[in-house]
Structure 1
């Protein structure tokens, strides 16, 4: 709620708040919370990511706040190159915030996490849903790579409706293969 109010604040009030919060960044948890509240301070978010490294906050709420503060693939790389689907799970609102902040470059990060050994069904569904909404060939390509998975097929259909030109081009190319993904591509065409 506070983050939303700050986002709606006028520029002078926002800058005044940022200045006041600058003095509250004394400790790892406080740095994460402050970075979450004012994600426009990209340097603060990068500092949090760099300091946490692959051992991002063990507290789920702090981990989510840190992820919501990040705005580039480079910042995500600082925390180990993934978002932690394997053992922690990431709520849909956090994934959506990350997708908005990072943009289409978020797709390979999701794809990398899908290759983990301990990704549960709910996380797979969630990732496929997010990928189906991201523009770009990379997101669609990851869905095609997983076309054998029933959750990917559903997401692939949604992505094809959302991005029909991309779908036609990429499905036509994929349909020329001999694997299960090619069969799914032919069905979708």
Structure 2
């Protein structure tokens, strides 16, 4: 009986070692790296076609890069809106969202949560909103170039503030 127990233990060790080797050899997916887009170029086109002076993050710097820039089409419940998204290190993603005449109802939809103070960034006052999960939002208290503006995403308050400071209308960026 003693030989059988010894063989069983050796077999278990061999199986575990084989599994560890397989785990080491199988490639694992790290952070999803989205393709970089020309946010300023898309914003310029939107500005010409829609007559909206949409915002992009100008001078945001490393590690942030634009990965999304588009007019989001509207429907019965959600009018069209502009979104420029930026990816930082790892999975960090923040976006600038804008809408014409959105007001309190739109802010309540895109920044639904608990108010947690205010901050000054980019010469404007922004209301801080803690949302579900790790999601946060900064709601600009005055329109930016005539558009209601929110910076939102899963990042730190410092990261959101950095994007809010750099949010500029495309007309100011392309001068």
Would you say same fold, with TM above 0.5?
no
Task: Tell me: higher relative CO, structure 1 or 2? Use CA pairs within 8 A at least 6 residues apart.
Answer: 2
Larger radius of gyration: 2
Normalization by structure 1: what TM-score?
0.25
Larger fraction in helix: 1
Normalization by structure 2: what TM-score?
0.26
Larger fraction in strand: 2
